[in-house]
Amino acid sequence: MLSLSPYSQMEDAFGRPLSPAWFPWYVAGSQVLGLAVLAITGAWMAHYHGGFAWEGKVQFNLHPLCMVIGMVFLCGDALLVYRVFRNETKRATKILHGTLHVFAFVLAMIGIIAVFEYHRTQHYVHLYSLHSWCGIITFALFFVQWIIGSVFFLFPGISISHRSRYKPLHVFFGVTLFIMAIGTSLLGIKEKLLFTFPNNYSSLPAEAVLGNILGLLLVAFGMMIGYIVTRDDWKRPMLPEEQALSMDFKTLTEGAESPGQQ
């Protein structure tokens, strides 16, 4: 009898694994949340703070928009690559995963330069708040994570055994940095609202309501991404050729260890 369990792994007419039941809906939901975050961030800066430009007081507005697009939305989608692209080759998914992080890095760098330039021209002090400390640490660790990940997983010369040992750390820090990016964004929203309404924030003006809604959507987006990437039964299944390589690697390693075990 055909099983319709949400945890079942079904195959199409070509023998390729289909996405688990409900999985596409969760992915779609994450994208709706992510796009809502981007739309509200852009609308907030455009409607209440004058829009976007690379000079003047509106230069700051590029900072939250670029950081949310890069460090939150694109990094979240990069985490989904190995879940969503289930029938593509491992190398193709690696390249897409790394490319998304490249775009995230470029946008985050633009956002950081924008806020530093804004502080310089407006004669504000740099890096004094908890938000700025968390942000610069997150960005620095993200850069280090991307460099090490590229060396281990994209460039030849690294043995499969070394990649296997490093992979759990790479996954852990990837999820951790995504959480740190969302936490830093929440601190930034709070800081911006307190600067905008130093005396009447408690009266909850419309802009503060919008900022609070944005924060809740950021949390929901992070929870949705986290749920998808931590479901073991939603992992990308190994393709037949990858299974063959895995078996060959296991045979080689066991064969190499056998003399010492005798």
**Residue range(s) defining the domain that contains residue 89:** 43-219
Query: What pLDDT is attached to residue 6?
Result: 40
At residue 11, the pLDDT reads: 52
CA-to-CA separations, 211 to 17, 42, 75, 192, in angstroms, rounded: 41, 12, 22, 9
Question: Is residue 4 domain-resident?
Answer: no
**CATH number of the domain bearing residue 146:** 1.20.120.1770
Q: Look at residue 250 in the predicted model and tell me its pLDDT.
A: 46
Per-residue confidence (pLDDT) for residue 67, from 0 to 100 = 98
Domain assignment of residue 239, yes or no:
no
Structural domain count of the chain: 1
What is the structure's pLDDT at 86? Answer: 87
Residue that is written with structure tokens 């908890």 in the block: 130
Decide if 73 is inside a domain: yes
Query: pLDDT value at position 134?
Result: 98
Within-domain flag for 48? yes
232 within some domain: no
Q: What are the mean pLDDT values of the chain's consecutive 10-residue runs (262 residues total)? A: 41 54 95 98 98 96 98 98 90 93 98 97 95 98 96 85 92 97 98 96 97 98 97 82 48 46 40
Assigned domain for 241 exists: no
CA distance 220 to 67: 18
pLDDT at 242: 55
Q: State pTM to two decimals.
A: 0.85
Burial degree of 197 (CB within 10 A; 0-12, 13-18, 19+): middle
Q: Is residue 228 part of a domain?
A: no
The predicted structure's pLDDT at residue 1: 36
- From 220, 174, 235, 218, select the one nearest 23 (Cα to Cα): 235
Residue 174 falls inside a structural domain: yes
